[in-house]
Amino acid sequence: MSTATLSLGRSAAMPLRQAVRRAERPARNLAVLMVVPALLFVIITFFVPILKLLATSVQNPEVASGLPQTMIMLKDWDGHSLPDEKVFAALAADLDAAHKTSSAASIGKRLNYEIPGARSLLVGTARVVSAFSPPYREAFLARDAAWGNPEIWSVIARNESRLTPFYLMQAVDLRQDAEGHLQSAPADEAIFLDVLGRTLAVAGLVTLSTLILGYPVAYMLTQAPARIAALMMLMVLLPLWTSLLVRTTAWVVLLQTDGVINDILIGLHLTAERLQLIFTRFGTVLAMTHIQLPFTILPIYSVMRTIPATHLRAARSLGAPPVAAFWRIYAPQTIPGVTAGCLMTFILSLGYYITPALVGGPRDQMLSNFISTYINRDLNWNFAAALGAVLLLVTLGIYGLFLKLAGADKIKLG
């Protein structure tokens, strides 16, 4: 007792909590130090690019910085009549400058997203604007009557801001009319919600089929004798060690109309004509299921491994027939693994790109394929970023929904 009082004597100056914190500081510092490299790596290579991508989806510098004087003059414009001479004069000066710095094309391209024909109008006018003389309004209208359409002016005026919701709205098939009201895109342009729905449907189908195929495999992995289980595990893991591209290409070889599967079906006289397997939804889901199978199996297996074999025996001894014992006692205990495995496969499937591109038909292209098209072919980074942002949001939303429905303790990702 006396030693305790002695040591407490000094603690009047330093409370116990503080002493504990001080004593544990070296260990805590070491822990932080060990995590820092990986943390920095993730921040630099993952979080920063994502933030940059999100920013790109709302950035809109082309028009505002390309036509600075016009923007100033358009501030006094009433928004529906034809702008006055001052605005045309400013545009002439801006276009001349743009032509000299070769930036007219990018301004035109940006306006073209919102009003078809704007690009050729702008580039064509910029090429000859240096020859214009006052009155500029007449000169512009003489060059192209399209300059008399107030719509192009309202689009220019709307892009005065360097931030725009345009791309994000377009990614969910919305747009602003001339007055700035939200409306749905015309049917022939409203394809992105459809693509999003298709992406979710394919991911859902893949998840379901990996679960149906993988659950019994995971169960057998836990039940088989050690040597057979090791062999099975190798077969589960082997696909993971093979490149995704190689596996997808293999499916192309198998599925194509002159491919192995059709040859076998014809050879066995199971079908008279060659089946269209490649470039179909079926082919896409099949190939993706194959690739995703280990991601569903492994979390289920890791949970199943912790369920004692005696639980099933106990249930049987208490009177439950084998199937009932399995469904009432075993299956409920596997739910954390099932949720984790399905979540993993579903989220990974949402971002699939190569497999739908090679095995899927035009109606099976997923959101990632469109993102890639907008980056590689259309050079429209902003819209690609907006599609990416929508995919990210949907993914996070589904993850949150999973957590809420299943309960965070019901998902065992480790």
- Per CB under 8 A, the list member of 46, 317, 363, 378 interacting with other proteins is 317
- Per CB under 8 A, the list member of 310, 376, 404, 408 interacting with other proteins is 310
- Per CB under 8 A, the list member of 201, 311, 400, 413 interacting with other proteins is 311
Q: What is the dihedral angle through the alpha carbons of 196, 201, 207, 212, rounded to the nearest 10 degrees?
A: 180
Alpha carbon distance 248, 234 (integer Å): 20
Amino acid, res. 336: P
Spatial contact of 148 and 81, defined as CB atoms under 8 Å apart: no
Closest by CA to 235, choosing from 245, 221, 248, 216, is 221
Alpha carbon distance 175, 165 (integer Å): 9
Count of residues touching other proteins (by CB under 8 A): 19
- Minimum distance from CB of 319 to other proteins (Å)? 4
Alpha carbon distance 388, 392 (integer Å): 6
- Minimum distance from CB of 406 to other proteins (Å)? 13
| Interface map 258-297 toward other proteins (x if CB under 8 A) | ----------------------------------------
Question: Please, which residue, 175 or 316, has the CB nearer to other proteins?
Answer: 316
CA 52 to chain centre: 14
Decide: is 101 part of the binding site for other proteins (CB under 8 A). Answer: no
Question: Please, which residue, 25 or 311, has the CB nearer to other proteins?
Answer: 311
Segment contacting other proteins (CB under 8 A): 56-64, 257-265, 308-316, 371-379?
308-316
- Per CB under 8 A, the list member of 318, 377, 409, 414 interacting with other proteins is 318
Decide: is 324 part of the binding site for other proteins (CB under 8 A). Answer: yes
**How many residues are listed for the chain in this entry?**
414
Segment contacting other proteins (CB under 8 A): 49-57, 87-95, 146-154, 305-313?
305-313
- Minimum distance from CB of 324 to other proteins (Å)? 8
| Interface map 333-372 toward other proteins (x if CB under 8 A) | x---------------------------------------
Segment contacting other proteins (CB under 8 A): 58-66, 221-229, 242-250, 307-315?
307-315
- Per CB under 8 A, the list member of 105, 229, 275, 320 interacting with other proteins is 320
Decide: is 321 part of the binding site for other proteins (CB under 8 A). Answer: yes
19's CB contacts (< 8 A; 6+ apart) are 11
At 59 the three-state DSSP class reads strand
Alpha carbon distance 215, 342 (integer Å): 11
Q: Count Cβ atoms within 10 A of the Cβ of residue 408 and give its class: 0-12 exposed, 13-18 middle, 19 or more buried.
A: exposed
Alpha carbon distance 386, 172 (integer Å): 9
Q: At what angle do helices 331-350 and 381-406 cross, to 10 degrees?
A: 170
Angle (CA) 216 217 222, round 5°: 95
Question: Please, which residue, 22 or 313, has the CB nearer to other proteins?
Answer: 313
Decide: is 305 part of the binding site for other proteins (CB under 8 A). Answer: no
In this structure, the strands spanning 174-176 and 182-184 are antiparallel
- Minimum distance from CB of 340 to other proteins (Å)? 16
Binding site for other proteins (CB under 8 A): 308, 310-311, 313-322, 324-325, 328-329, 332-333
